[in-house]
Amino acid sequence: MSLYSTAVKKPVTTALIFVAVVIIGLFALSRLSIDLLPKIDMNMIMVMTSYPGTSAADIEMNVSKPLENTLNSVANLKNITSQSRENISVITLEFEYGSDTDVATNDVRDKLEMVKAYLPDGAESPVIFKFGTDDIPILMLSVTAEESTNALYKILDDKVANPLARINGVGAVSISGTPTRELQVYCDPYKLEAYGQTIESISAVIAQENRNTPGGVIDIGSNTYSLRVQGEFTQVNQLLELVIGSREGKTVYLRDVAYVQDHVEERTQETYNNGVRGGMIIIQKQSGANSVEIAEKVYEKLPEIQASLPSDVELGIIMDSSENIVHTIDTLVETVLVTFLIVMLVVLAFLRRWRATFIIVLTIPISLIASFAYLMGSGNTLNIVSMSSLSIAIGMVVDDAIVVLENITKHIERGSTPRQAAIHATNEVGLAVMASTLTILAVFLPFTVITSGIAGIMFRQLGWIVTIVISVSLISALTLTPMMCSQMLRLNPKKGRLYAFFFTPVEKALNRLDTAYSQFVDWAVRHRKTVITGALVVFAASLLLLPSIKTEFFPTQDNARIGINIELPVGTRQDITRDLASRIDEAFRRKYPEIEISNYTEGQANTDNTFAQLSNSGTHIIEFNISLYSVGERREKSGAERKLTEICEFMRQDLEAYPEIIRFEVLAGGGGGMMGGEASVDVEIYGFDFSQTDFVANEVAQRLREHPSVSQVTISREDYIPEYQVDFDREKLAVNGLNITTASTYMRNRINGAVASLYREDGDEYNIRVRYAPEFRQSLEDIENIVIYNNAGQGVRVREVGQVVERMTPPTIERKNRERIITVSAIAAEGAALSDVVNVANAEMKTMDIPPEIGWQLAGSYQDQQETFTDLTVLMLLILILVFIVMAAQFESLVDPFVIMFSVPFAFVGVLLGLSVTQTPLGVMALIGLIMLIGIVVKNGIVLIDYIILCRERGMSIITSCVAAGKSRLRPVLMTSLSTVLGMLPLALGRGEGSEMWHAMGMTVAWGLSISTLITLIIVPVIYCVFAANGVKRRRRKLKKSRLGMNYNAN
Amino acid sequence: MKAILITFNQAYYDAILSLMDRRAIRGYTYWEDVQGRGSQTGEPHYGTHAWPTKNAAIFVVVESGKVADFLDALHKLDIQTEAQGLRAFVWDVEQFI
């Protein structure tokens, strides 16, 4: 018994099977977590090797180079870049997307083992460090405080960071911008000298005095007691009373040579939120944890935490990555619902029956919900890609059910009972339905095998979801739809007045359309040359649009976040930086009401702040983290509605006006993301000689800046950094019984200070730092006057054994693929596309006079775009061939699929027209839309040709067949096309968060399918006529020949 | 005793069977898949791409008195939905075991 007759005969089983599918799907949905993107495996491994005391150039020669040479042979390696800085070499290995990082890490480890013996003796073992998307902070909290500022670190550490870190899934919680308490022992160098004391001796005394020692156990009488000495300081002023030595028979106390300050660290990063000083708490998640869930739990906990804090400390939120995720997914859910409604209306308008519409629309939720089970089974999440795939699929899942239902209705109208009609009618169209579904699968299944690049991650899921949804809809169309029809459809149902009111005009319009169309086809097939020439002209004309179309990679997404890096000249004092930062902050907040929170940080980061270590910090660096109101609520909350890229553009102009800024970078999207940020073209300049490459890079940057299509140009190599160095004379040192190590340690202890011991209070430890008081380390003379003691106790001043000189240290040496490199990156200005910048860069590079030993190439988003476009073009060819094979198998003919393929070029015509009318650049998403179109447009052709062939088999002439088929198939073609086109509109026109991503794709499919459907309806019958007529002529000739041959034989 | 051969569109099967049951016609022989076309206007029933419908055939032997009523009922069924196609042919049964 066939599938459909079983289904019709066992309605209970059939219904319950689908109920089970829906229940499993809903169960899966309740377990699915929400995320922005499908899980992206890390594809970066860092190898860090430190070699203390070496310059950047030495590190490059002795560490980076040998490591690069060995690591270069690791499998699947895409790029190897290195940064050689003073004391450390950082090598970054970038692997192809989709390669297994665990295997890669092992390979890297093996290679490192091999090369270790060749590294210099002083170099430490290389350390492997993996960096992935999980390390990007998911939540940043702002903390503002007034009276409690100095104690803020301890308050936050105890009351905020610790409770938050206990939340399941939270990785690291770091506090930045709050000063840490430190006990400073400030010494007076003159008094030290007079009393014969040194920083070292004082440190030693403090260390020895501040100690608890267990003395063992002692038996007294019948008891055992333990013996202890409690020497640790319990109060800060105990330090002052320490005896540090004696001079001429008198005791010298610490208070004689120094004063103690119980204060905060001298140099700290300072953070301001909306102009108020405070701190920042950065929350990172554990690898694989769910951002939205964590953020929810953090929010739950916050009121409780806030209540436990002193009244002047207030917590706020600077950045919440989950907000963007939730908004984006909400927008998509809305899109899916709107699409569902539109498709339902289209079906209702064409069928004009409530029951039939219900049966067809029922396949949508069933097939969509079934895909949730796949998502859970494969460990995926509800994300942009999976939700949009659903939205794309909605318009297509009803097609099969429509064809089946239409045929069943026809049978019922001819007098079958619904039950019999359901079985026989499904039997008739089952094969055709399966074949046309196979063509869609031929398009989407290949998506699941793309493995390379970012496109692989994006579209593998799209491929699977559409494949699954369409397969489920096919099964449902062959079982559930006939079953429902047999139960619900009635012959000639009674039509109410409401029905007549709504549908009589629709019916009349459709009838007129049918007649007009069949008349036009009748004319067209009799004027084949005119029609084909006309089509060719349309096609050629659309090709003329090609030069005006720009290309891009991915569109910039408005996630309402801006990151700004500002650098002042190296060595700018913190107060000057602070002053500038507050001026910029104020100006920005006044000028851009869209800003919700503006957070900035300046100053040198503490070494134990893991998050701050990932980025650059220094007294001359200001970092802004700005969040705008999200797209949806920007207008109502701020009264202004500028786009993210627009605001960034204005900010760049603003920053340009500050003369003290030597370099700045405004990053839309806050950086950190691989997609959705602003597109950049990197000009990579390869060459060994610093001055030559510097010159070329500056020249390129200069020229690029002058173009209106380029908004921001940055050069990767930093400037030479001025610093003071002390050159010791080894001979003089030796004469005084000293060496470099002793001398430099003395210097370090006086300026940077020596951590003598730890002061314990309430379970926390604070450094006790001994150093010169601030007023004695303010000039070069102060350094020169430092006294260094040798083992014999004789003191000698720094100026006697060396001299202090100012030098410029070379910057970090960057290398890529084993060559020195300097990168000039240019960001496209508002309104300009990636291809504009590429053209400008290419043109400028060609006119420039570049020395022959310097090479260059374009990279950045441009390179990614090129790679992805190549992948997708190959995929498109593959899909074209597959679709052809599927159709050829269905028709058992090579000519018919060839005729149907004529609708594909006209899809391109529609796409080209759409891109140029809406001024959308051709990016990856538009290209994906184009590929999807191949499968969608041939479906129309299949429906038409299938029926033409049927008519011919029934004995009609070629031309009559074409006209009859056209008239009969116009409605199904229009219905399926309209449901797909209108189903794409919410994606194409959506304005919510994250919608930028899908605009191009929705637009491409809508335009391509509309134009292609209109032209297919004319051109396919016409071309079929041409081929069929030729076939008939050929057969006649053959027949004639064989008859002639027979006559000849007979003679 | 008369023999009746009914050839009809598969979709009629249930209806014909119930007509027989109502007239207490018990014995019959049934071919599920048969092909054919009508002599004048009847569409072909080939089960092919062009003519996807199929016929079935029922062979019944009944007492002569029941024939007229049964044929009448079949004719009514045919007239209701002419496009489907239903024909019945009657001849004598000379002997049987």
Model-level ipTM above the cut of 0.85: no
A742 pLDDT tier (thresholds 50, 70, 90)? confident
Q: What is the dihedral of CA A262, A267, A271, A277, to 10 degrees?
A: 40
Contacts of B74 in chain A (CB under 8 A): none
- Whether the per-residue pLDDT at A366 is higher than 60: the answer is yes
**Which residue does chain B place closest to A950, by CA atoms?**
B50
Rounded alpha-carbon distances, angstroms, from residue A891 to A349, A372, A583, A939: 32, 35, 74, 13
**What pLDDT is recorded for position A55?**
76
The Cα–Cα gap between A902 and A510 comes to: 26
Q: Which residue has the higher pLDDT, B48 or A519?
A: A519
Cα distances from A1004 to residues A279, A985, A997, in angstroms, run 47, 10, 13
Distance CA A888, CA A495 (A): 44
Which residue stretches of A414-452 are H helix? 418-444
Q: How far apart are CA A549 and CA A552, in angstroms?
A: 10
Structural domain B2-92, CATH architecture: 2-Layer Sandwich (3.30)
Main-chain phi, psi angles of A816, to 5 degrees: -135, 130
Tell me what pLDDT residue A617 has: 66
Mean pLDDT value across chain A: 84
Q: Tell whether A435 lies on the interface with B, counting CB pairs under 8 A.
A: no
CA distance A25 to A522: 49
CB A77 within 8 A of CB A86: no
Per residue in A51-85, pLDDT (tens digit) is 876 778 888 888 899 999 889 888 888 889 898 87
Q: For A277, phi and psi rounded to 5 degrees?
A: -65, 140
- Mean pLDDT lowest for which of A166-180, A813-827, A921-935? A166-180
Helices (H) and strands (E) in chain B, counts: 2, 4
- Judge whether A47 and A124 are in contact, CB under 8 Å: no
| Residue to test with chain B: of A8, A412, A420, A429, most B Cβ within 10 A | A420
For the segment A118-132, the average pLDDT, to the nearest whole number, is 80
Domain boundaries, chain B: 2-92
Lowest-pLDDT range of A203-207, A233-237, A412-416: A412-416
Average pLDDT over residues A506-524: 89
Res. B34 pLDDT band, cuts 50 70 90: very high
Quick one: A731 exposed, middle or buried, by C-beta within 10 A (0-12, 13-18, 19+)? exposed
Q: Which of A417, A951, A954 sits opposite B14 (nearest CB)?
A: A417
Whole-number CA gyration radius for chain A:
38
Place of tokens 């004639």: A1040
Strands A813-816 vs A618-628: parallel, antiparallel or unpaired: unpaired
- The residue of chain B nearest to residue A951, with distances taken between CA atoms, is B50
Residues A456-491: pLDDT tens digits? 777 788 889 999 999 999 999 999 999 999 888 876
Helix then strand then coil, % of chain A, to nearest 5: 55, 20, 25
pLDDT-derived band at A926, boundaries 50, 70, 90 = confident
Residues forming beta bridges with residue A317, ordered by sequence position: A141
- Work out the minimum CA distance from B93 to partner chain A, whole angstroms: 32
Query: In this complex, which of A415, A949, A951 lies closest to B81 when CB atoms are compared?
Result: A415
Give A133's pLDDT tier (boundaries 50, 70, 90).
low
Please indicate whether residue A137 or residue A886 has the higher confidence score (pLDDT).
A886
Lowest mean pLDDT among A163-177, A630-644, A694-708, A898-912: A630-644
Scanning the structure block, which residue is given the tokens 């300050």?
A261
Instruction: For residue range A829-869, list pLDDT tens digits in order.
Output: 777 788 888 888 888 888 888 888 888 888 877 888 888 88
* CB of A503 closer than 8 Å to CB of A493: no
pLDDT above 80 for A555: no
Q: Cα–Cα distance between A396 and A368 in angstroms, integer?
A: 11
Beta carbons within 8 Å of A855's beta carbon, 6+ residues apart? A685, A686, A687, A819
- To the nearest whole Å, the CA of B64 is away from the closest chain A CA by 30
Q: Which tokens hold the place of A932?
A: 């999807």
**Nearest neighbour of B50 by CB, restricted to A415, A421, A950:** A950
Distance of CA A591 to the CA centre of its chain: 29
For position A1043, what pLDDT does the model report? 79
- Phi, psi (5° rounding) for residue A519? -65, -40
User: Under a CB-based contact definition with an 8 Å cutoff, are residues A696 and A850 in contact?
Assistant: yes
Q: How far apart are CA A18 and CA A460, in angstroms?
A: 27
Q: How far is CA A738 from CA A122, A371, A734, A745, in A?
A: 22, 76, 5, 11
The residue-averaged pLDDT of A400-416 equals 82
Strand segments, DSSP code E, in chain B are 2-9, 29-34, 55-62, 86-92
**Closest to A54 measured CA to CA, from A82, A84, A29, A16:** A84
- Dihedral angle sign, alpha carbons of residues A68, A69, A71, A74: positive
CA-based nearest residue to A91, from A120, A55, A127, A51 = A127
- Compute the distance between CA of residue A838 and CA of residue A70 in angstroms, rounded to an integer: 34
Strand pairing partners for A681? A826, A860
pLDDT tens, residue by residue, A258-277: 998 887 777 667 788 887 77
Per-residue pLDDT at A414 exceeds 70: yes
Pairing of strands A181-187, A764-772: parallel
Among A424, A949, A951, beta carbon nearest to B10 = A424
Residue A608: per-residue pLDDT? 47
Residue A382 CA to residue A372 CA, distance in Å, equals 9
**Nearest-angstrom CA–CA distance, A550 and A832:** 9
The Cα B10–Cα A139 span in angstroms is 68
pLDDT of amino acid B2: 92
> What is the Cα–Cα distance from A837 to A862, expressed in whole angstroms?
9
The pLDDT score that the predictor gives to residue A644 is 82
Q: Write the pLDDT tens digit of every residue in A392-406.
A: 888 788 888 888 888
Instruction: Name the strand (E) or helix (H) holding A343.
Output: helix A321-351
pLDDT score, position A495:
65
Q: How many CB pairs under 8 A join A and B?
A: 42
Instruction: In whole angstroms, give the CA distance from residue A400 to residue A1037.
Output: 41
Give the torsion through C-alpha atoms of A639, A645, A646, A651, to 10 deg: 100
- Inter-chain touch A953–B48, beta carbons under 8 Å: yes
> How confident is residue A609, by pLDDT bands cut at 50, 70 and 90?
very low
Predicted pLDDT at A673: 44
Q: Which of A346-355, A707-716, A838-847, B59-68 has the highest mean pLDDT?
A: B59-68
Q: Please say if the pLDDT value at position B69 is more than 90.
A: yes
> Quick check: A809 contacting B, CB < 8 Å?
no
Interhelix angle for A996-1050 vs A903-918, to 10°? Answer: 160
Task: Say whether residue B77 is in contact with chain A using an 8 A CB cutoff.
Answer: no
Quote the CA–CA distance of A679 and A555 in Å, as a whole number.
8
Rounded distance between C-alpha atoms, residue A997 and residue A978, angstroms: 23
pLDDT band at A671; cut points 50, 70, 90: low
Do residues A269 and A612 lie in contact, with contact meaning Cβ atoms separated by under 8 Å? yes
- Which of B50, B51, B53 has its CB closest to that of A424? B53
Tokens (6 digits) for A707: 């173009």
The average pLDDT across A792-801 equals 86
Q: Which residue has the higher pLDDT, A278 or A918?
A: A918
Which residue in this structure is represented by tokens 């190439």? A857
Contact B11 A950 (CB under 8 A): no
Distance from CA of A1021 to the nearest CA of B (A): 18
Residues of chain B positioned with their CB less than 8 A from the CB of A420: 10-14
Per-residue confidence (pLDDT) for residue A610, from 0 to 100: 45
CB A935 within 8 A of CB A393: no
